[in-house]
A and B are shown apart, each in its own frame.
Chain A
Amino acid sequence: MADFEPKIVAFVCNWCTYAGADLTGTSRIKYASNVRIIRFPCTGRIDYMLLLKAFDEGADGIMISGCHPNDCHYTSGNFHARRRWIMFRSLCDFLGIDTRRIIFSWVSAAEGARWAELVNSTVASIRELGPYDEYQNIAKKPVMEVNHG
């Protein structure tokens, strides 16, 4: 699996982690380019169905990140999100979905260097786990045969 490049989707909140990732860039810190960042208004908006969609579409790992507790731009979005994550993660675990591939974190707008470290460590751990075949095998899209007769 030497040439395996993990695909990682990062769901981040606009106010903290997105700004933090921006700081990583403006600080000229190099980090793994395997991550596709999707910006959300708040972690409270990150619907669990979107995480499933990421796996459907071939993600090998998912990162979810937002403001530290008590720092939410909307006061309580991350608290609501945290409660849902606790239950969603345990449901995933119960169903046998590999929870090592879902990385939750708090990264503030000032933690540009931490974002780079987090992405690098995530990429390294997913690289070790290999492609998420279990999920992708069931997510294979059926081939449509179109008869133009």
Chain B
Amino acid sequence: MDDLRKKARELLEASAVKVVIGYEQGTAGKTRALFAENPDDTDKLIFDSRCNLNLAAYVTKTEVKNKGKMAITATLPVMRSIIQLASESQVSDNNLVVLGITPESKLVEFGKITEVETFVHQYQIEIETTYREKLEKLNKMTPSERWQFWIDEFTPCFKCYACRAACPMCYCGRCTVDFNQPQWIPVPSHQLGNLEWHIMRAVHLTGRCIDCDACYNACPLGIPLNLLTKKMIEDVKTNFGGYQPSLNGGHLMSTYKPDDKENFIQ
């Protein structure tokens, strides 16, 4: 990825941006986020198949934003996240430069976020076959079996909120789970607290999740919580047509159509 290093160096040398967010070699054979603030740091930039962290999670963090204008190494899921964040007024051309990486690992430069949108819209969000089979298997279970499945899956959760920290869409300064007046979600990680936390997370990501799996990759216990968001993506498709993050499409869950179809309201 010499192109990427070269471009990052150029941007920093010209003071076009104050920080370049990318990946560097971490410990235990893993990669981690790199925040390059001087041109020589860019030598550490790497990009390979291990880079599955969604870097868009950093662009809304105050510590990073305060550095000044940012450039971000953006794979397809990261670009999708950026479009969603831009549509929610969290990032704009004024504070972000996107260094896109195509699915073929080629560097692609964008002048404006609208160009990123055009690029991203060439690729539909598709649930992988393995996950689709898992969803299908769960759909075929009886409600009681599904209930037991999820209670068992959620039991090890100790509410570290790594899923929330890894998610680019979870940028609220004060998350509902942190509220204690009223205490929406019980603090202890008992069965009820865990269930309500995961319900809340899934509902808040409905129509916003771009299916990057960052939450699942971040979970230290491997809880398949991305199944919930994938299910929501599938259902959004069934009920309201396809879904793509877009700059002026309106937000799926804050808009409506007078002829939205359902079959359960009496």
Instruction: Give the interface of A toward B (CB within 8 A).
Output: 48-49, 52, 56, 69-70, 76, 79-80, 82-99, 103-106, 118, 134, 138-139, 142
Shortest beta-carbon distance from A52 to chain B in Å: 6
Closest to B147 in A: A96
Closest to A87 in B: B206
**Among the interface residues A79, A91, A98, which one has the most CB atoms of the partner chain B within 10 A?**
A91
Shortest beta-carbon distance from A91 to chain B in Å: 6
Is the CB–CB distance between A83 and B265 below 8 Å? Answer: no
A to B CB contacts below 8 Å, 16 in the list: A70-B258, A79-B260, A83-B260, A88-B203, A95-B146, A96-B141, A96-B148, A96-B149, A96-B150, A97-B143, A99-B143, A104-B265, A138-B151, A138-B192, A142-B188, A142-B190
- B190-234 near A? 1/0 per residue, CB < 8 Å: 111001100110110011000000000000000000001001100
With A90-B235, A96-B148, A104-B265 as known contacts, state yes or no: A79 contacts B228, CB within 8 Å. Answer: no
Closest to B259 in A: A69
How many residue pairs at the A-B interface have CB separations less than 8 Å? 103
Is the CB–CB distance between B266 and A105 below 8 Å? Answer: yes
Is the CB–CB distance between B231 and A69 below 8 Å? Answer: no
Residues of A contacting B151 in the complex (Cβ-Cβ under 8 angstroms): 138
With A56-B192, A93-B143, A96-B149 as known contacts, state yes or no: A49 contacts B200, CB within 8 Å. Answer: yes
Closest to B263 in A: A86
Residues of B contacting A70 in the complex (Cβ-Cβ under 8 angstroms): 258
With A87-B232, A89-B264 as known contacts, state yes or no: A95 contacts B195, CB within 8 Å. Answer: yes
Residues of B contacting A88 in the complex (Cβ-Cβ under 8 angstroms): 203
Is the CB–CB distance between A76 and B256 below 8 Å? Answer: yes
Shortest beta-carbon distance from B225 to chain A in Å: 11
**Among the interface residues B184, B195, B202, B264, which one has the most CB atoms of the partner chain A within 10 A?**
B264
Is the CB–CB distance between A86 and B256 below 8 Å? Answer: no
Bound state CA distance, A109 and B127, in angstroms? 44
Is the CB–CB distance between A91 and B231 below 8 Å? Answer: yes
Shortest beta-carbon distance from A102 to chain B in Å: 9
With A91-B231, A93-B143 as known contacts, state yes or no: A83 contacts B253, CB within 8 Å. Answer: yes
Is the CB–CB distance between A91 and B228 below 8 Å? Answer: yes
Residues of A contacting B192 in the complex (Cβ-Cβ under 8 angstroms): 56, 138-139
Shortest beta-carbon distance from A12 to chain B in Å: 14
B residues 115-171 with Cβ under 8 Å of A? 138-139, 141, 143-151
- CB of B176 closer than 8 Å to a CB of A: yes
Is the CB–CB distance between A49 and B176 below 8 Å? Answer: yes
Shortest beta-carbon distance from B172 to chain A in Å: 15
Bound state CA distance, A76 and B141, in angstroms? 36
Is the CB–CB distance between A91 and B232 below 8 Å? Answer: yes
Is the CB–CB distance between B265 and A87 below 8 Å? Answer: no
Is the CB–CB distance between A85 and B203 below 8 Å? Answer: no
Closest to B151 in A: A138
Is the CB–CB distance between B202 and A91 below 8 Å? Answer: yes
Is the CB–CB distance between A95 and B150 below 8 Å? Answer: yes
Bound state CA distance, A48 and B255, in angstroms? 17
With A79-B260, A87-B236, A138-B195 as known contacts, state yes or no: A48 contacts B203, CB within 8 Å. Answer: yes
**9 more A-B contacts (CB under 8 A) besides A82-B262, A94-B228, A106-B266?**
A82-B265, A87-B239, A88-B203, A91-B202, A94-B146, A95-B199, A96-B144, A96-B147, A139-B192
